[in-house]
Amino acid sequence: MPPVRTLLAAAVVLVLVALPRAAASPHTAPADDAFLAPLVTRGGAPAAALLVREDDGTRYAEAGQDIDRADHFRGGSVTKTFVATVVLQLAAEHRLSLTDPVETYLPGLVRGAGNDGRALTLRHLLTHTSGLYDFTADTGGTVPVTPLQAVRIALTHPPADRGRFSYSNTNYVLLGLVVERITGHSYAAEAERRLITPLGLNGTSFPGSRTSLPAPHGHAYAADGADVTVLDPRVAGAAGELVTTLADLDRFYAALLGGELLSPRWLREMLDTRAAHGSYGMGLFPRRLDCGVTVWGHTGRIAGSYVRTAATVDGRRVLTFRVNTDAVASPGLEPALLAAEFCPRTR
């Protein structure tokens, strides 16, 4: 059990640190900060932090110990937004079509137990409507595997109904292989060249098999309190390998939704949720808050880290929060925090 857990009983030691905001901000009271401490007390995390990016600057808050604004952490499935953006850029360059069968790029690979890459398109993979089994259901997200091993694990199981939304990490492992087949470079190298370097995301990387986090970083804890800061990222691969920072995720999603990375046509394609019946676009999903506002973004969960990025559809306001454990124990806390930031407030 990490020592920081012993601090949870004394709520008075929880620290909220908020940077000042310009007076012109439409949110004069940072109500979302008040929802951060409960992520530690009721959400079961040793520590939590958030960073909001908007037109008039940024605002940071933290709760608990051993967490900092500049920390590197594992981003989990926010990796999927990066991979989907690369695929859509390749589509814009006419190097692939979303209607192409998976078989076109990975001949003979997706076969077995009723799975057939000839009947699956890249759109199926991007929107999680392929029906392919999620390999991490067998590995528990803790066993390092190569992409081919991940796919072979998935193919020992029959598919779910094709065309029905069913979230599966296998889809994005396959997309990583497709990117490599088309470009001759790994998905990581393409994401670095196309996204990370142009946007100056200096804290973001694809670590490959590197088990340590870059400095600075805090500790990461499993739900049972075990320290899992050292982790082989190959447990997730193209579905969740990324290491990043709060500021980099805010910058990336602001740039993506603001039209810096995709043309209007391809950004509309990314936000189109019809294939997944409203549940998912391509590397992004919408969340309609109780006040009627819809935000876009992604969650990321990997051993020792949970992160959530949400943004307005134009990317002008972005919030990223994270906890240094696997999940938020109280499910109502996340939507409450998002509503505090994105829903209009009466004065």
Comparing 180-194, 195-209, 244-258, 323-337, the range with the smallest average pLDDT is: 323-337
The predicted pLDDT at position 29 comes to 40
Contact yes or no for 254/300 (Cβ under 8 A):
no
Residue 13 pLDDT exceeds 60: no
The C-alpha atoms of residue 340 and residue 289 are separated, in whole angstroms, by: 10
- The pLDDT tens digits of the residues spanning 187-202 come to 999 999 999 999 999 9
Name which residue leads in pLDDT, 159 or 23: 159
Using one digit for the tens of pLDDT, what is the confidence trace for 58-90?
Answer: 999 999 999 999 999 999 999 999 999 999 999
* CA-atom Rg of the chain in angstroms: 20
pTM: 0.91
- pLDDT tens for residues 284-294? 999 999 999 99
pLDDT of residue 33: 66
Type and span of the H or E element at 31: none
Cis previous bond, 20, omega within 30: no
In whole numbers, what is the pLDDT of the chain averaged over residues? 91
pLDDT exceeds 90 at position 24: no
Averaged over 171-199, what is the pLDDT?
A: 98
Alpha-carbon distance of 242 to 233, in angstroms, equals 8
Q: Which of 24-28, 278-282, 294-298, 326-330 has the lowest mean pLDDT?
A: 24-28
Residues recognised as catalytic? 77
Percent of the chain with pLDDT over 70: 90
What are the phi and psi torsion angles at 253 (to 5°)? Answer: -70, -30
Give Cα 158 to chain centroid, integer Å: 27
Query: Does residue 345 surpass a pLDDT of 90?
Result: no
Summarize the confidence of residues 252-259 as an average pLDDT. Answer: 98
Encode pLDDT of 33-43 as tens digits: 678 889 999 99
Q: Could you tell me what percent of the chain has a pLDDT over 90? A: 87
Average pLDDT over residues 244-261: 98
The CA-to-CA distance between both ends of the chain, in Å, stands at 43
Residues of the chain with CATH 3.40.710.10: 76-201+221-244+256-285
**Cα separation, 92 vs 23, whole angstroms:** 41
Q: Which CATH architecture best describes the domain 76-201+221-244+256-285?
A: 3-Layer(aba) Sandwich (3.40)
Tell me what pLDDT residue 32 has: 59
